[in-house]
Homo-oligomer: A and B are copies of this chain.
Amino acid sequence: MANSEGPVGIATTDEITLEELQLAARNHGMPLEGLRYDVTPIGMHYLLTHFDIPEADEASWIVSIGGRVRRPFVFSVDDVRSRPVVTMPVTMECAGNGRARLHPRPISQPWLSEAIGTAEWTGTPLRPLLEEASLEDDAVELVFTGADHGVQGGIEQDYERSLSIPDAMRDEVLLAYAINGQPLPPQHGFPVRLLVPGWYGMTSVKWLRRITAVSEPFEGFQMDAYRLRQEAGDEGVAITRMLPRALMIPPGFPEFFERKRILDAGPTILEGRAWSGSGTVTRVEVSADGGVSWADAALEPSVGPHAWHRWTFGWTATPGEHELVVRAADDAGDVQPLDQRWNHHGLTNNMAQRVAATVR
């Protein structure tokens, strides 16, 4: 029943503990002005590493496919690179994005709104490798094991997550070895990682070492951890695809410490990005009065089938204090809530973003 990103429960104050800060100093979000780029520049994409970034030697790196398969085999990174090449932009978000804005706050990696990014990934489709291994008829899931190792919830483990066979067989699921046209940096899973477009980031196992077909649903720690629960003991529901979310580039310029925004009166263009892993984004709305009244933003085509859309909104800024709000909806019927939908682990929080701005 532990939380994958921190099993220590619920905060009793709004202030952040030293342990949470330790995580925030290691992991990092994408500064929201990074929303201006179709593809997030290298180094700006969000990162969450549960344990340590492992040391990796590409030349000797071997990935195995085994378990309930008829033809287990191993392959090198060169083998992966010699296979058909796919390059595509993919928007990825951490399942815990927004956690630190919940009241009370589930204690773990304390994300605000920045745990996102869109990278251009290069890899090879996973499915042909699974076909070559020939899954046994009783195989129901594939377990992906990374080289990152540590203790979480009292359990020593390699980081491991599973996918159902149909989910793993989807065309867009890749073994990726490059990002934005260059080899993966260590922190993004060098030399090879899983990439599952549309899903929250915990599924895209980095530093991939093993793919194991299993005949029973995998119940490892990280499966239990990423479930939507109201209380610690609930059975909960597994988290899979990203809910819709829109974020805006905070307009004007900031005050250093509070990050409050200052801008000049007059016509201005608000802009940002919106995405959903559960469907297609159909609408982005903006409010300049804290959510009392709303108007539609202009929504551009997505950067790719699994990547975000740019949106823009013309706003005539009038002197005074304003609260800007943006929310997205998708064709799966989800719309971002204005108020929190609290859960015990602080996962899939897609409450609408609010930005305080002073117009002068």
Q: Which residues of A contact B (CB under 8 A)?
A: 5-8, 13-29, 31, 33-34, 36-37, 41-45, 47, 49-53, 55, 100, 108, 110-112, 114, 149-153, 156, 182, 185-188, 250, 253-259, 262
Contacts and interface: CB of A to CB of B under 8 A. Distances in A.
A151 B255 contact: yes
Given A151-B256, A187-B43, A20 B28 contact: no
Contact of A28 (B6, B28, B112, B186): B28
B18 A14 contact: yes
B16 A20 contact: yes
A112 B185 contact: no
Contacts of A255: 150-152
A49 B43 CA distance: 14
B21 A256 contact: no
A26 B13 CA distance: 22
Given A31-B187, A149-B253, A259 B18 contact: no
A42 B183 CA distance: 11
Contacts of A50: 256
A188 B114 CA distance: 18
Given A7-B257, A13-B15, A151-B255, 10 more contacts: A15-B16, A19-B257, A21-B21, A21-B112, A26-B114, A28-B28, A41-B186, A149-B253, A151-B254, A182-B182
A5 B108 CA distance: 26
Contacts of A36: 55
Contact of A31 (B8, B14, B19, B26): B26
Contact of A25 (B15, B41, B114): B114
Main secondary structure of the interface of A (DSSP, over half): loop
Given A151-B262, A185-B42, A253 B52 contact: yes
A276 to B, nearest CB: 23
Contact of A22 (B52, B185, B259, B262): B259
B53 A21 contact: no
B52 A31 contact: yes
A340 to B, nearest CB: 15
A25 B156 CA distance: 28
Nearest to A50: B256
Contacts of A7: 257
A58 to B, nearest CB: 13
Nearest to A100: B21
Given A41-B187, A186-B41, A187-B44, A256 B114 contact: no
A36 B190 CA distance: 15
A238 B188 CA distance: 39
A43 B114 contact: no
Contact of A41 (B18, B149, B185): B185
Nearest to A151: B255
Contact of A8 (B22, B110, B111, B257): B257
Contact of A53 (B18, B34, B152, B185): B34
> Which of A50, A152, A182, A255 counts the most B-chain CB atoms under 10 A from its CB?
A255
Given A19-B259, A21-B16, A111-B25, A254 B100 contact: no
Contact of A108 (B41, B55, B110, B257): B257
> Which of A13, A110, A187 counts the most B-chain CB atoms under 10 A from its CB?
A187
A53 B31 contact: yes
Given A26-B114, A187-B43, A253-B151, A258 B33 contact: no
